[in-house]
Structure 1
Amino acid sequence: MRARLSSFFVMFSAVFVFNLLSISTHAQVYEYVNEDGIKVLTSRKPDANKYTVTEHGCFGMCRTGINWHDTPLNHDAYASEVNAASAQYGVDKALVRAIMHAESWFETQALSHAGAQGLMQLMPATQTRFEVTDVYDPRQNIQAGTQYLAWLLTEFDQDIDRVIAAYNAGENAVKRYQGIPPFNETREYLRRVKILHSRYQLVP
C-alpha cells in the first residue's frame, strides 16, 4: 500500500455520507453493507461468510447507483489550490471541482486501474506534459489538471462537452470521432461531470 487513503461510505438514507478507509494501489475495491446498514467501500476483502460482498475493479468510475443530483458536494477540500489554479489558467473552478469529484472523490492518493493518479487522475503522459514532479501533491496535481483543462478548452473552442469527454478518453479520441466518443464509460463520465458542474456552479 502506497499510503493511507481516506474514502467514503454511503448511508442508505436520503443522504450519502462517506467514511475513511485505506485503498491499495492495485485498485481492487470491495463493497458491502455493514451491521448499521451503511454501504462500505474498502480495499480489504471482508468476510464473505458475514457479508454479501461486491468486487469493483476501480474506485471512481465504477461506482454505480449514485444519484448525482443529490449526492453531497465538497466545496471546501483544497479550496486554495483550486482557486489559485482556476485564476491562473482561466478555468471555471466549478469545472475543476466537478472533475476532481468525479475522478477521485477528493482522494490525494487515488490510483485507477489504468494508471491515472491523484486528485485529478493524471495519466503519466499528462504528468510529463505539464512537468509534474509529485503527482500526489495536491497543488501540483490540481495545477496540472487545470492547465490541461485550459488547453482542452482552447483546443475544442470552449465546447464543455468535448472538453469533459477528452479529459476522460483523450483529445485524440474526441478528434477521431469528431465529437463525443461512443464509449459507455465516457458517456457516463460526461453525464456525471455535467451534473456535478452545474451543481458546483450554484455556489460561488
Structure 2
Amino acid sequence: MARPDSQPILFALVCALGTFLSPFANPVSSEVYQYIDRHGVISLTNVPTDARYKRIDLTASSVAHAPIPEKKLDHAITRSARLHRLHPALVRAIIKAESDFDPRAVSQAGALGLMQLMPETAIQHHVRDAFDPEDNIAGGTKHLRYLLDRFHGNLPLALAAYNAGEHTVDRYQSLPPIDETRRYVQKVLRYYRRFLLAPSPLHPTP
C-alpha cells in the first residue's frame, strides 16, 4: 500500500494514464510503462525516463494477475458490504463483471483494480492504493452505496451510473440508451442472481 503522503503523486500519475490512452484508436499503438518504488508508490508514464520503468501489456486489459487467497478476498468483501449495507453477492457480481477477480486489472480508460475504480473516484473515496484488494473493495462499495442512495435504491440505475457515470444517468433520468451500459447492467444482475445461489461464496453456479 502506498504511503499517505504519496497519494497525490500516485493518482496524479495514474490520471495521466487515462488521458494519454484516450487519443489512440488502436490500443496496441500506445505504450504504457510502470515503476513501483520501495514504498509501493506506482508511477505510470508513456515516456519512460529510465530503465526502472517496465512496459505494461494493455492489450490484455490487465497487469500481471496476482491471485488473492479466497478467504482473504471473501473477508474483505463481506466486511465492506456490511459496512455499506450491501449484499456481498452484489459486490462479488460487480467484481466479476469489472475485473473477473484480477486485482491488477487496468482498463483502456484507466480504471483500476478489482472494482475498476477511475482515479478520480478512488480519490473521492480516499483509496490510497487502487491495486490493493481491500482498499479497492472499500472504495468500490462506498461508491456503490453513494450511487444507490443518490438514485433512491434503484439498483439498475445505480449500476448504470457505476458504468457510465452518474451525470449520464441524470441526463436521461432512466437507463441510458448506451448498449455497453445496458449490457453491463444485465451482466451484473445475472451474476448477482448466480452468486446469491452459489454454494461457494466466490464461484457462482453455471
RMSD of aligned alpha carbons: 1.9
What amino acid sits opposite 2:106 in the alignment? L
Q: Which runs of 5+ in 1 are unaligned?
A: 4-23, 30-57, 60-74
The CA distance in 1 between the partners of 2:138 and 2:117, in whole Å, is 11
Provide runs of 4+ in structure 1 moved above 6 Å: none
Q: CA deviation at 1:27?
A: 2.0
Residue of structure 2 in register with 1:46 after alignment: none
TM-score by length of 1: 0.65
- % same residue: 40
Instruction: Confirm or deny that 1:27 pairs with 2:22.
Output: no
Separation (CA, whole Å) in 1 of partners of 2:169 and 2:34: 33
Give the match for residue 72 of structure 1. none
Question: Does residue 130 in structure 1 map to residue 116 in structure 2?
Answer: no
Alpha-carbon distance, 1:26 to partner: 4.6
| 1:8-36 deviation digits (Å, cap 9, x = unpaired) | xxxxxxxxxxxxxxxx745213xxxxxxx
Task: Say yes or no: does 1:107 pair with 2:109.
Answer: no
| Aligned counterpart, 1:153 | 148
Instruction: State the 1:77 CA deviation.
Output: 6.9
Contact 1:107–1:118, Cα closer than 8 Å, also in 2: yes
Specify the alignment match of 1:164 in structure 2: 159
**3-state SS in 2 of match to 1:87:** helix
Describe the superposition over 1:91-138 as per-residue Cα deviations: whole angstroms up to 9, x where unpaired: 111111000000000001000000000000000110110011111010
Amino acid at match of 1:195: R
Q: Distance in 1 between matches of 2:99 and 2:83?
A: 22
Structure 2: distance between partners of 1:102 and 1:90? 20
The CA deviation string for residues 111-169 of structure 1, in whole angstroms up to 9 with x for no partner, is: 00000000000001101100111110101000000000111111111111001111100
What count of residue pairs does the alignment treat as equivalent? Answer: 141
1:77–1:106 CA contact under 8 A, matched in 2: no
Q: Which has the higher helix share?
A: 2
CA distance in 2, matches of 1:112, 1:176: 25
The AA in structure 1 aligned to 2:133 is: P
Give, in whole Å, the separation in 2 of the partners of 1:26 and 1:150.
Answer: 33
- 1:93 aligned onto 2:124: no
Closer, same or farther: CA 25–180 of 1 in aligned 2, 3 Å: farther
User: For residues 107 and 178 of structure 1, do their structure 2 counterparts lie closer, same or farther at Cα, with a shift above 3 Å needed?
Assistant: same
